[in-house]
Amino acid sequence: MAWGDSPGHECGIFGIYAPHEDVARLTFFGLYALQHRGQESAGIAVSDGRRIHLHKEMGLVAQVFNEEKLRPLKGYIAIGHTRYSTTGSSKLQNAQPFVVESVLGPLAVGHNGNLTNAPQLRRELLTRGVGLISSSDSEVITQMLAGGEGRTWEEKLRVFMIRAEGAYCLTVMTRDTLYAVRDPWGLHPLCYGHLGNGGWVVASESCALATIGATLERELAPGEIMAFDERGPRTIAHSPAPQRAMCLFEYIYFARPDSIVDGQTLHAARVAAGRELAREAPADADIVIPVPDSAVPAAIGYAQESGIPYQEGLIKNRYIGRTFIQPDDRLRKLGVQLKFNPLSDSLAGKRVVLVDDSIVRGNTSGPIVRLLRDAGAVEVHMRVSSPPIKHPCFLGVDMATYPELIAHRLTLPEIRDHLGVDSLAYLSLEGLIRATGNSGKGFCNGCFTGNYPVDVHLLEKEAFEG
């Protein structure tokens, strides 16, 4: 997916119970592995068995933490969070984890997702006199747990799941226990593994476990609540929805290609999507090139199935997107040239299949096509390894609004002409689901079809701003 056209990622959550480890340091590296899921803020909270110590700031994980910031975070349980805002703007008050005191002791919460009934829940808290310092639905979750019904944390978590609607994966840390919660639809991934020496790790993606040397056990089931403490891991509740609804965009773009979902790497699923795309939408061309880096697996699959040679045609500057320094007017006018440089030797005189994993707004695909033509490509046939995105996401992804979505505004021929390509084709929804290898399981396809697994509401991202 082209830089500037990608949907906002979600959030990355991490949790660890490990009495014999430096849990803050391991959480740092776990968050580093989940940096792709959110780049706005990062935070780590650690429990020493009596109190919770917290540090969070705006910025990338490596900008927020150093040896000096990690040193005070002593304890044996930790949770971490790296954020992309979906509800609530990008500012420190909305950074996670949220930490509060309650009648049962200290509580810290990290959240990935979006509650669709957040306005109602927020209003109930304010009516009860609960003061809220942020505009994030994640603080609503924290306060619901801190002051909700139930005599124990386990009871409070069960009550929360009855009240909450929408998407949520949670790491919840009390004084002496780590909890992990996945919503009943299983909208976003959450897994756990063991570290040895009685240590247990929870993360949004298995790549974070591998980074710190933990062994993947399994994914949490939809509707499952797990506890990790001195007794080891245990399931304390399991209340799935009638049908699973895993987010298809995890397969297309969000999750790292080396992460494992439903028993296979995302790389394998994306290669399979490329093969499906080649079968559905062949092209008469000389080379297949990806929009790097996210479309590389799909382009490999397209080349394998079509027999057209795979080649690199665009070189990506991988560090442009990791700076908060904004380009000046002159650099801004260069647009995608800040991010991509074409390989003229590979492109000159060639008919090119350009593979991308998705098109959201379409505001960078056209400039990329012009880059290829300026470098000598005689034909550009664009192939997209996902269906047209016609609807926003209300379940934890900052996808864009209806007016911003190019496939909502324009027909396929109009998009083709707008991008300046010789031909354009998208992968069908059926082909995408086949590529996951899990056709019998349910998926959320709301951004493609407008059919969401739960009731959704048109809520502005900054609706709770003061």
pLDDT (0 to 100) of residue 466? 46
pLDDT (0 to 100) of residue 215? 98
Q: Is the predicted pLDDT of residue 380 greater than 80, yes or no?
A: yes
Q: Is 207 annotated as a binding residue?
A: no
Please return the burial class of 151, using the count of CB atoms within 10 Å of its CB with bins 0-12, 13-18 and 19+: exposed
Of the pLDDT bands very low, low, confident and very high (cuts 50, 70, 90), residue 1 is low
Q: List the helix and strand counts (H, then E) for the chain.
A: 17, 23
**CATH architecture assigned to 269-317+333-440:** 3-Layer(aba) Sandwich (3.40)
Mean pLDDT of 420-434: 97
| Tokens read off for 286 | 């000389």
Mean pLDDT of 50-64: 96
Tell me if the pTM is above 0.75: yes
pLDDT (0 to 100) of residue 339? 86
- Catalytic-labelled residue, pool 11, 169, 191, 207: 11
Q: Is 169 annotated as a binding residue?
A: no
Q: Is the predicted pLDDT of residue 83 greater than 90, yes or no?
A: no
pLDDT (0 to 100) of residue 399? 73
pLDDT (0 to 100) of residue 465? 47
Cβ neighbors of 93 (< 8 A, separation 6 or more) are: 133, 134, 135, 136
Mean pLDDT of 295-320: 93
Cα angle 152, 98, 446 (rounded to 5 degrees) comes to 95
Q: Is the predicted pLDDT of residue 3 greater than 50, yes or no?
A: no
Of the pLDDT bands very low, low, confident and very high (cuts 50, 70, 90), residue 48 is very high
Q: Which residue has the tokens 């906002």?
A: 8
Q: Is the predicted pLDDT of residue 280 greater than 60, yes or no?
A: yes
Concatenated DSSP letters for 47-81? E-SS-EEEEEEES-HHHH--HHHHTT--SSEEEEE
**How do beta strands 287-290 and 246-247 pair?**
unpaired
Q: Is the predicted pLDDT of residue 211 greater than 90, yes or no?
A: yes
Q: Is the predicted pLDDT of residue 38 greater than 60, yes or no?
A: yes
pLDDT (0 to 100) of residue 326? 58
Task: Establish whether domains 11-242 and 269-317+333-440 are of one fold.
Answer: no
Q: Is the predicted pLDDT of residue 72 greater than 90, yes or no?
A: yes
Q: Is 357 annotated as a binding residue?
A: yes
Q: What is the DSSP letter of 92?
A: G
The domains of the chain are located at 11-242, 269-317+333-440
Distance CA 97, CA 219 (A): 22
Of the pLDDT bands very low, low, confident and very high (cuts 50, 70, 90), residue 197 is confident
Q: Is 294 annotated as a binding residue?
A: yes
- CATH number assigned to the domain covering 11-242: 3.60.20.10
The question of whether 191 is a catalytic residue gets the answer no
Q: Is the predicted pLDDT of residue 281 greater than 90, yes or no?
A: yes
Q: Is 374 annotated as a binding residue?
A: no
pLDDT (0 to 100) of residue 191? 98
Q: What is the mean pLDDT of the chain?
A: 91
CB 61 within 8 A of CB 45: no
